[in-house]
Amino acid sequence: MDAVATPPLIDPFQRAITYLRVSVTDRCDFRCVYCMAEHMTFLPKRDLLTLEELDRLCSTFVRLGVRKLRITGGEPLVRKNIMWFFERMGRHLGAGLDELTLTTNGSQLARHAGALRDCGVRRVNVSLDTLDEAKFRAITRWGRLSDVLQGIDAAQEAGLAVKINAVALRGTNDDEIHQMVEWCGERGMDLTFIEVMPMGELDGEDRLDQFYSLDDVRRDLEARWTLTDTDYRTGGPARYARVTETGQRIGFITPLSHNFCESCNRVRLTCTGQLYMCLGQDDDADLRAVLRASGDDAVLEAAIREAITRKPKGHDFDYSRQEVHGQVGRHMSVTGG
């Protein structure tokens, strides 16, 4: 079907769906305390979409008007033969797809950075919540900070733009926010702070205890740095401010304190083929069943369009009453970071 003649994906609130986040695996080599339990039971491999199935699904979304594709996990770079998939997605760049990116914990970047660049990736988001080795081990349980720092070096040497994503955790990294801004400024990297989201049961962790409102983060930052709001956007939910002293940007992703749903252009595809129209809702569409039942892409397109008609106006996450409201049962690693 001619891509030009294909009607775009429009949700019930007249938002064009142009951004797809795809989890290629629920597995990860870290066990971050806000993301998953330490002793996770991962999905059997037969439940996961094959890379060929992911290729077919994502190519269909591009044909339907998706212009930005972000690959996530778990940790996407631990999936076997994942570079084949990046090569397949890279063929759409300039032919419907504007950007191919990924979010990674950085542990595997040192060996994959050059290949990612060759596939058409131009920027990556690296999740890094602390620059302190002991805290890093405590947060990730299994990770080594040195591996991530080497990965960031390799990405920059390969010519990839790196943005750091840091989950704001009260009592954990709230004393490091100034150091993070300074370090990112010295490395020429933008930094985005993210509020912790209530997803999945986590070995007795209290979501409310972890919650560090980005209103408080910004107030604390402005005690040292000059922040000027900008209209810069990357296609995601972050709102950015320029740091006068470093020249870099700081982004704020505030699903709890300031709902950003009104402009949501995103849907999320899990590694099992479930399409979630909203991160904070449990409604989904089983595209794996459609994929495996028919080789007709018209049937797949129809299933995707039907799912988009169920995209809600927004999520229900709320900490304002000093309780966790709107919590969903699946772990973040299942849906994709």
103 is in an annotated binding site: yes
Tell me if 180 is assigned to some domain. yes
Tell me if 196 is assigned to some domain. yes
Q: What is the pLDDT of residue 280?
A: 67
Q: State the DSSP string of 271-294.
A: TTSEEES-TT---EEEHHHHHHH-
Q: State the DSSP string of 44-97.
A: PGGGSPPHHHHHHHHHHHHHTT--EEEEESS-GGGSTTHHHHHHHHHTTBTTTB
User: pLDDT tens digits, residue range 285-295?
Assistant: 999 999 999 99
Tell me if 178 is assigned to some domain. yes
Tell me if 10 is assigned to some domain. no
239 is in an annotated binding site: no
Report which secondary-structure segment, H or E, holds 136: helix 133-140
Tell me if 265 is assigned to some domain. yes
The number of domains in the chain is: 1
74 is in an annotated binding site: yes
Tell me if 32 is assigned to some domain. yes
Return averaged pLDDT per consecutive 10 residues of the chain, 337 residues in all.
70 94 96 86 93 98 97 97 98 98 98 98 98 96 96 98 96 96 98 77 55 93 98 86 98 70 87 90 91 97 96 62 45 53
Report which secondary-structure segment, H or E, holds 269: strand 266-269
Q: Report the predicted TM-score, pTM, of the whole model to 2 decimal places.
A: 0.88
Closest CA to 101 of 116, 119, 120, 121: 121
Tell me if 54 is assigned to some domain. yes
Length of the chain: 337
Q: What is the pLDDT of residue 334?
A: 54
Q: What is the pLDDT of residue 37?
A: 84
264 is in an annotated binding site: yes
Look at the block and give the residue holding tokens 């032919």: 95
Q: What are φ and ψ of residue 179, in 5° steps?
A: -65, -40
28 is in an annotated binding site: yes
The CATH number linked to 194 is 3.20.20.70
Tell me if 5 is assigned to some domain. no
User: Which domain, by its residues, includes 120?
Assistant: 17-335
Distance, CA of 237 to CA of 255 (rounded, Å): 9
Judged by DSSP in three states, 138 sits in: helix
Task: State the CB neighbour count (10 A cutoff) for residue 171.
Answer: 9
184 is in an annotated binding site: no
Look at the block and give the residue holding tokens 């989201």: 197
163 is in an annotated binding site: yes
Buried b (16+ CB within 10 A) or exposed e, 279-304: bbbeebbebbebbeeeeeeeebbebb
